[in-house]
Structure formats: C-alpha cells, structure tokens
Amino acid sequence: MLKSVRIILALALTITAAHAGVLPEDRADIMYHRYEGGGVTIDGPSLLIRKSMLDDLSVSFNHYVDNVTSASIDVQVYASGASVYSEQRKENAVGLTYLHNNTTINFGYTNSEESDYSAETASFAISQDFFGALSNLSLSFAQGDDVVRMNNREGGVITSTDDIGTVDRNNYRIAFSQVATKNLVFNATLETITDQGFLNNPYRKIRYLDSDGITQKDAPEQYPETRTSDAFALRANYFWPWWRAALKFEARTFTDTWGIKGKTFEIKYTHPFDDAWIFEGKVRQYDQTAADFYRDLFPYENFQNFMARDKEMSSYSTFGFGAAATYEWKNIDFSFIERMTLSLYADFVRYQYDDFHDARESRNGGAFAAGNEPLYEYDAVVTRLIFSVYY
Amino acid sequence: MRKLALIFLALSLSACSITPWVKPYERQNLADKVMESERDEVQGSYIAHVYAAREGQRGAEGGSGGGCGCN
C-alpha cells in the first residue's frame, strides 16, 4: 500500500470513538434487472433480505441471478457453430453487521456460480465515526478465489468442460467521509486490487496478419499472470435547501500495471415531490486508455509475449444518462410493515471504441480489409424495477 | 487529485480538538432521504457490477464488489 496511505492509516487508528453509529434499515427488496446492448441480453431477479437482532446485529442475504443470452461481437467473430449462446449465473451473498457504540464491523461472503466460472469472496470491514460523528473512517479487505473453466459446445450445447486455471484476488480499501457544512458531505475512497492467476477470458482470441500481409488469423490471448490496480474516487453530496433536493458529484481515477488509465465523472440530481415521490437524473462519462499489450490487429504471429484483443482493454469512452422514480406508501395496514416503495431505474449508455474495429466486416466475404473495418460502437439500456418493504 | 485528497484527509484527522461545527440538531438536511448515496442497495451494487464488467477500471465504487466470469 502507498506509504502516504499507511501514515494516514496509523493516524486514523489512534483516534478514539465519540458517537454512536446506526445499523442498516430492516428491509426486503425484490428487483428485476435487465441489460440489453451489443447483442447481449442479461436479465433476472435479485432478492435482498436484511434484519436486525439483539439491537447491535444486522444480517443480510442476497440471491441474484443473471440469465444470459449472448450474440456479442466476440461470439459472432470467434465462436464456431452456434452464433448465440445461453448461460445462467447465480450469486448468493450473506452479510453480518455488528455495531458497538460508534464502531461498525462487517463480515461478508459471496459465491458466484456459472457453468464455466466459480467465484468466492470473503470480506471484512471496520468503520469508525468520530469527531462528533462528523467524520467516518472505514477500512476493508476482501479476498477472492476464482476457478476458470472453458465449455466446449457443439450446436450451442455444452459437450464438455475443461479446467483452465484459478485467480486469487485481494482488495484493500480505505474510505473517509467528512461533513463539511449543514448541507455538504465529502467522501474520498482509495482501493488497491491485486490479481494473480489466469486473468483473461479463455474464449477470446487475438488476430494477426499472416505472412501475406492480408489474411487474418486467430490465436489465443496471452495475458500477464498478475495485475495490480489503484482506484481513487472523490464524492460530494450537497443538499439544496430551497428545493429540498440533492446534487451528487463523483470523480474517479484508475490506473493499473497493465497500462490502463481510466477517468469517470458523474453528476446526479435527486428531487422529491409531494412527499411520496422521488425523482432522479444522472449523467456519466467514462474515458479509458488501452492496456500496453492490447491491439486490434497484431502485425504477425507471436508479436510479443502478452497480447490481448478484449475491447474492455482498448481505448474507448462511454457516455450515459439515467433517470429514476420512486413512489412510497407510508400508511400501511399490516402491523409489522412501516412503509413500502416501488422504484424504476433506467440508464442509457453509448460505448464508442477508438481502437477496436468491427472484425465481422472483414470476415466471411466482408467488404473491408483486416484492420480497416469501421470502429465498433454500441448502445446499451439498463433497467431495474424494485419493490421494497421496510419493517 | 490524489495529493489534494491526502492533504484533505490529513487536515481532517488533525482537527480532533476542534468543537464540531455542525451541531446534532443542525443535521436534519444531511439525514434527508434524498441525501442517501444509494437508496436501494441492490440496484447500487448491480449498476456498479454492470459498469465493472464492461470497463477496464475497477475499485472505489460506492458499494462492495465480488468476482464473476463477466468478461
């Protein structure tokens, strides 16, 4: 971890408690989520239940499902046989929160399973209010162990599965929140993530020019076996007293040992109406530079030790905007229910790639030479419908 | 940006002897539901996952993360 962060960490740990924190609200959420874009449709449910007990404990359980139907550009370019595949991912997560005066301790465990990937993550976090509850410092650590497999398909049906490798992940996060005024809160978050193991997608390939300089051929991607990244985010929430509305701002930077640099800017406006409605709008911009070993088309086979053609490793930008509406029922006849809400969120995101070309246009009699195809871009719509009960 | 944030953190941590300038009875606006960073935890972690699965960057999101083969 950075030397400067270690110094601040040592200072933070010497500060004593002064004020009580609060447990998360008891609630049950059922969400339908849907992502549609780039030839991929992913939808499914997510169920969250949270309950407090003994005045200082809160437990939570989340069951989440992704139903995937994919005819992405990678599937269309590289998959033999069927041009569309279907997959399902299931994720279960449990959490335990313990509150003691102004200190909150969280334990979490998440398991994700799909036919060709298993992931387990265990996390621990400690959060401390101090300085009259105007400040909060939290430290968290998560360790993940993943198993990577590869399905062999014939006609879209899985005929066998091969073990490919494993991934070990460690996340280290420190976050600090500060109340600045009656209407303004700042937050700074720094997170370092380290990965080791098989870090690429076993299905994806790179392409290179054959000895004739015209014919394109495919070969498996070759990624480094380690990756370390640092992400830093600054957030500010401002309460607009004249309208009883809130303006939220986020700026995030990212850098890693693969040479990728990313920047995110997001502005969100939240406005209540008639004491039962909340409306929200947001705008988000993301820009990224390519990994050092990324190329859309390599000049020849075995050009370098590490080679990638994953569009998520390329230079590109995204622009998105979203809106949300929440309605709240307050006077509920059932004795144990305090209130209920129904929320709809919708986001539109445009992805525009600067150095990832549409290889479909140069294959199977396409009109373009390899490397001269149009740059790839696509739009995605992300929708969430959530019904929540607070008890 | 990182240097600025580190200075901000150090100043905040060094001010322990100063009386809180926002009294408890002045914090009603901060506790308003519109000021919540994320009203719905399930959707906050979901949209963070959507972004992380399609972007090279990861970390320092508003919520916690986990692994998946979503690349």
What tens digit of pLDDT does each residue of A57-101 get?
999 999 999 999 998 998 888 865 557 888 999 999 999 999 999
Q: Out of A142, A146, A382, name the one closest to residue B50 (CB).
A: A382
Say if CB B65 and CB B49 are below 8 A apart.
yes
Contacts of B21 in chain A (CB under 8 A): 134
Contacts of B70 in chain A (CB under 8 A): 66, 89
Contacts of A198 in chain B (CB under 8 A): none
The model's pLDDT over A152-175, given as tens digits with 9 standing for 90+, comes to 988 778 899 999 999 999 999 999
The average pLDDT across A107-131 equals 95
Q: Out of B46, B57, B67, name the one closest to residue A384 (CB).
A: B46
Angle at B33 between CA A17 and CA A44, to 5 degrees: 105
- pLDDT for the residue A113: 97
- pLDDT for the residue A265: 98
A158 vs A288, residue with greater confidence: A288
Which segments of chain A does DSSP mark as H helices, in order?
3-13, 73-78
Q: Identify which of A287, A237, A291, A225 has the alpha carbon closest to the alpha carbon of residue A260.
A: A291
- Chains A and B form CB pairs within 8 A to the count of 214
Q: Touching check for A102 and chain B: CB below 8 Å?
A: no
Q: Touching check for A177 and chain B: CB below 8 Å?
A: no
Contacts of A317 in chain B (CB under 8 A): none
pTM, whole model, 2 decimals?
0.88
Residues 6+ apart with CB under 8 A from A258: A224, A227, A291, A292, A293, A313, B56
- pLDDT for the residue B15: 47
Q: Which of A36, A182, A193, A255 to mutate to test the interface with B (most CBs of B within 10 A)?
A: A182
Residue B29 φ/ψ, nearest 5 degrees? -65, -40
DSSP state, B31? Answer: T
- Interchain proximity A15–B16, CB inside 8 Å: yes
- The pLDDT mean for chain A works out to 92
Residue A104 exposed, middle or buried by CB count within 10 Å (0-12, 13-18, 19+): buried
Q: Nearest chain B Cα to A11, which residue? A: B13
Bridge pairing between strands A216-220 and A226-240: unpaired
- The DSSP line for A205-229 is EEEEE-TTSS-EEEEE-B--SEEEE
- pLDDT for the residue B12: 55
pLDDT over 60 at A179, yes or no: yes
B23 vs A174, residue with greater confidence: A174
**Segment (H or E) for A256:** strand A245-256
Number of Cβ within a 10 Å radius of residue A338: 13
Contacts of A35 in chain B (CB under 8 A): 50
SS3 per-residue string spanning A69-112: EECCHHHHHHCCCCCCEEEEEEEEEEEEEEEECCEEEEEEEEEE
Q: Touching check for A339 and chain B: CB below 8 Å?
A: no
- The DSSP line for A163-198 is EEEEEEEEEEEEEEEEEEETTEEEEEEEEEEEEEE-
Q: Touching check for A108 and chain B: CB below 8 Å?
A: yes
Contacts of B57 in chain A (CB under 8 A): 229, 231, 252, 254, 260, 262, 264, 286, 288
According to DSSP, the residues that pair with A85 across neighbouring strands are: A70
Say if CB A35 and CB A42 are below 8 A apart.
yes
- Please report, in angstroms and rounded to a whole number, the separation of the first and last CA atoms in chain B: 29
A3-12, A333-342, A355-364 — which is least confidently predicted?
Answer: A3-12
- Interchain proximity A120–B57, CB inside 8 Å: no
CA distance A239 to chain B (A): 7
Is the ipTM beyond the 0.85 threshold?
yes
Q: Tell me the two tokens of residue A5.
A: 């962060």
